[in-house]
Structure 1
Amino acid sequence: MDRISLSPELTLSRIVYGMWRVADDPDTSPAHVQAKVEACLSQGITTIDQADIYGGYTAEAVFGAALKAAPHLREKLEIITKCGIVAPAGRHSSARLKHYDTSAEHLTTSVEASLRDMATDYLDLLLIHRPDPLIDPDETGAALDALVESGKVRAVGVSNFRPWDFSLLQSSMETTLVTNQVEMSLMATEAFTNGDLAYLQERMIAPMAWSPLGGGALFTGGPAGLLAALERIASQQEVEPSAVAVAWLLRHPANILPVLGTNNLQRISQLAEATKVTLDRQTWFELYTLAMAREVP
């Protein structure tokens, strides 16, 4: 498994295992979660993606229970989590409505809760989950700098930020923002042309892609002809069609890191198949054209 360097201190596995749904699995036992992690490690997938809000603020603790039961796993992993969304659930059940909070107090409190829930002394990467219309970049930037300086967080980045949101926050920070996790897939190609990806490439910042399979929509009603093309290429290369869809992202020179989430152990064991797929330029554009349902201009 290739690795991508986000900073001199932090490298991640090219494919990231996402735990968005880990608390939704009928079996949330530490042993079962450990089996998922070990299935990832057996393929060289060492990076785990979490967020405080996942599972109504329960997913981190589900993962943490597995780390408590098998503490030796921690040193083999890079743990990513996100914060900044406040929804009326779990520890934020008193909130009147869903909103964003990027204040220093909230970020610090959220990190402490994530460390506690995931039974770890540090986070490898902390992301601001969504751009906050009320962000005070000086306050937020200083809070992120302080978290890195404290050693509780090794690196920081953002998620779902547009280039101007990224620049605003970075302008108030000493620490370098190392990634932006955005939606990218054959069902969501906007980042390839709206400046989001180009902005990161210009700065040699590796992006992360959430929902790289379009939430499963690729296989249940995507653009006409796209699934047939994925199946044809998959058959030729003896992989699953999902591996071809992920390989389409891997083919891009921006060093995109897809975040793949599933609770199915068999599917987890096949996540690395995407790295075996080769796509020439015309095949990449064939899938792109089908995804857009039109020729490129």
Structure 2
Amino acid sequence: MSLPPRISLQRVCKQFAGPTSAALDGDVLRDVSFVLSAGEFVCLLGASGCGKSTILNLVAGFDQADRGEVLLDGRPIHAPGPERGMVFQQPTLFPWLSVRDNVTFGPRMSGQTAQQYLPDAERYLRLVGLQDFAEHFPWQLSGGMRQRAALARAWLPNPEILLMDEPFGALDAQTRLAMQELLTTIWQTIQTTILFVTHDIDEALFLADRVLIMSARPGRIREELQVPFERPRSLEDLVADPRYGQLKRNILHVVREEAAKSLVGEPA
């Protein structure tokens, strides 16, 4: 039996302003529709400029659709809320705060006591492997460690939905894979609903239950693919599976076709 949708986008359109305040720069998103069920891990995949981050901002409540509906449990999203957490490409940690104080910043600012938030904070620091670096400052950490701290900070308020905007895009290949494995390990434990933006096909196939491939601007969902690989996954097992190579080729064909359209300005 399928689970009821947590997030639902129904024929969503979004425009941004053009060079003058009186002009619009055309649709960024056009008739985007999809749903996320509870506990599902879905990747939005597409070339730069297709509207992936715009969708995250709409679901986060940072922006509003011009047409269509963005719903959380059947109710329109009008603003950010504690049930939705966000992880950006850059960790955006406060350099003057320790790792522990960065991770606990939100609960402290909301007025929670240390007795309320510290046990969970220590748990997440252990989950991301930073328990021995809790008193370090961000400038004393590697890029991967800073992103691990950002993950712990995002998960500490126990959001039901986690929105991730290419969080590993700035990392080297080895650190990126380690972060992907860490993310899936924690997700399989906590079962947060995740909407993850990426332009990397391998990353999408490694992480996701479903992959939504976006068209060139104006962005829409061109294809939806169910990822057939069982969990837990390892990269070694995936690349040895003949289905992986075929699926990657199929996705690459679609992505390259849409990227070519964006370069020549061909209507999507």
TM (norm. structure 1) is 0.37
Richer in strand (by share)? 2
Using CA pairs under 8 Å that are at least 6 residues apart, name the structure with larger relative contact order, 1 or 2. Answer: 2
